[in-house]
């Protein structure tokens, strides 16, 4: 049976599909059962509403496989919110899919005059944000989005 049982004191590690990078098996969100496929943490976004504010809690790796969850989260946001808080504390890895999600979230909040706050950026997703500032994409609002996210860390 995989993963093999390990002592309760030591954290088990599972190999991810990204090669040598390892993810501790104890990592996970309390709202998800800790089930992995080849060591990859399944991605989810949970929402909590408090009056006219929504907290989006991302959990897992934001890569191409996370597209449907990101699209669903964006599509389900009501237009009547006063603020959106994106919590990235449980996201150890993000690629361009995360930037795409952040741009979509920024467009939504700007269009509906909603405040957007981000928090809990881990090192690798933060590196992606910092690197994105050096991209020169004409017509894209990427720099505005990234600067806004970084200002609200």
Q: Give mean pLDDT in consecutive 10-residue pieces for the chain, a chain of 153 residues.
A: 36 34 40 51 89 95 94 94 94 93 91 92 92 69 72 59
Q: For residue 86, give both structure tokens.
A: 């994106």
> From the CB of residue 122, how many other CB atoms can be counted at a distance below 10 Å?
14
d(CA 106, CA 136): 19
Residues 6+ apart with CB under 8 A from 45: 56, 57, 58, 59, 69, 70, 72, 73
In angstroms and rounded to an integer, the radius of gyration of the C-alpha atoms of the chain is 17
With pLDDT > 90 as the criterion, what percentage of the chain qualifies? Answer: 50
pTM of the predicted model, to two decimals? Answer: 0.71
Could you report the per-residue pLDDT of 89-110, keeping only the tens digit for each? 999 999 999 999 998 999 999 9
């Amino acid at each position: 049976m995989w993963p093999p049982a390990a002592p309760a004191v030591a954290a088990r590690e599972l190999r991810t599909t990204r090669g040598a990078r390892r993810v501790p098996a104890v990592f996970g969100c309390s709202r998800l059962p800790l089930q992995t496929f080849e060591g990859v943490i399944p991605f989810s976004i949970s929402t909590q509403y408090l009056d006219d504010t929504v907290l989006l809690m991302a959990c897992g790796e934001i890569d191409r496989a996370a597209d449907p969850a990101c699209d669903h989260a964006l599509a389900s946001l009501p237009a009547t919110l006063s603020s959106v808080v994106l919590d990235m504390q449980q996201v150890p890895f993000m690629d361009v899919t995360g930037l795409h999600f952040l741009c979509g979230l920024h467009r939504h909040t700007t269009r509906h005059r909603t405040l957007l706050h981000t928090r809990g950026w881990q090192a690798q997703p933060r590196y992606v944000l910092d690197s994105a500032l050096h991209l020169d994409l004409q017509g894209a609002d990427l720099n505005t989005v990234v600067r806004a996210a970084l200002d609200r860390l």
